A and B are shown apart, each in its own frame.
Chain A
Amino acid sequence: MQDYIISMLVENQPGVLARIAGMFTRRDMNITSLTVSPCEKEGKSRMTLTFRGDERGLESTLKQLNRLIEVVKVRNLSFERAVYRDLCLVKVATADASVRQEVIGLAEAAGGKAVGVGVDHLILERVGSPTKIDNFISIFDKFEAEELVRSGVIALSFEDESDERK
């Protein structure tokens, strides 16, 4: 089993997400992260999706997705030179001023920062590759992480999209 990441150009229309999600449910596969937003092409969205699977699962998933009428392009980014970005927000309980100072210091040293301040907690943010985010989160294990949220990966390849055929 391995983590795969794929990027898709899809029609920005109701139902597209359900069709794509359906492909995974039917094959008993789990989507680990998913981001969707409109992109540079009018009427289209770009979707980045990660899942765990084996090579055969990947091959058939790519073909199944490609077969959907509203999916314009599918591209496997798992082995491509690309920029990957994920974002996390972590809410950490800070009982007193000294803990607060320690948390802020750690966050900054680990490439993140405090972006929200409450009476007895801080909200930290870190942007980076998924592994950097994993590291960042683990640093705050010893504190009480009250809530954690990640955006899911987005990615852009250095290679040209136009030579992807459908």
Chain B
Amino acid sequence: MQQTNPEKQCSRNRLNQSSFIHYFLVFNVWLLIFSDPAYAELTIDPLDSPGWKTVHKVILANEEVVFDDRVEVIVPAVAEDPLQVPVSVRVEGIGHIEEIRVFADLNPIQKILNFHPGKIEPFIAFRFKVQQSTPVRAAARTADGVWHVGGQWLDATGGGCTAPSVGRGLANWRETLGNVKSRLWSRTDQPDRLRFRIMHPMDTGLAAGIPAFYIEVLELKDSHGDLLAQIQSYQPVSENPFFSVDLQSSQFQGLILTGRDNNGNLINQALK
């Protein structure tokens, strides 16, 4: 049998399928023009989460967002203890940050914490509770009102040899409620650091018979009483929360932490 000339077959087919090809081409060209891949990269959820649309609406009021690696969220790949998942958020290289919101798309309570870094570094670390595998994200708002979003998936499906969380609540939690312990580090090659722990049950209100009971706001102030930074925390923050923030050692003198929980209990303590 005679070999078909590919060129000829080609042109015949092209005629036969001309309308298809036409649309195909046109479509591609439009795609090329209007879907700048760089833009797509910034607005399509890199974590491909079924909950993104919801949190974009609920947590960020559908405001303008870009996905941005410079908002670095560190969580372990697997939550060994779902009641104590460590997370840290650091924003670097996008200018002054007005606010950082930390949230988990698929948690029953998505909102975890809002942080207004004010006069300290846009960095915060703490622990929180999860119910199931979920993206954990931070959105950092720059002065132009745009939210820069970073995040990672957290696998919370099982921990093998993990000890179950038993008897976490201290029997005498009422006596220690609101007690703060803190430590400061002056460091040479990194920003100086403050770590503090507040005794508080941080009940989510999701367990039967136990109403939500959690710290709502914490304020870090300098010796003049001026606000350095503010944390709004929500139910998912872990029991007896541990916070780490970075600041200048020149701000260490006379540091004060004030705050309040949703039952009106007050926190007020000098940090050293």
A, B co-complexed: no
Which A residues are closer than 8 A to B by beta carbons?
none
Which B residues are closer than 8 A to A by beta carbons?
none
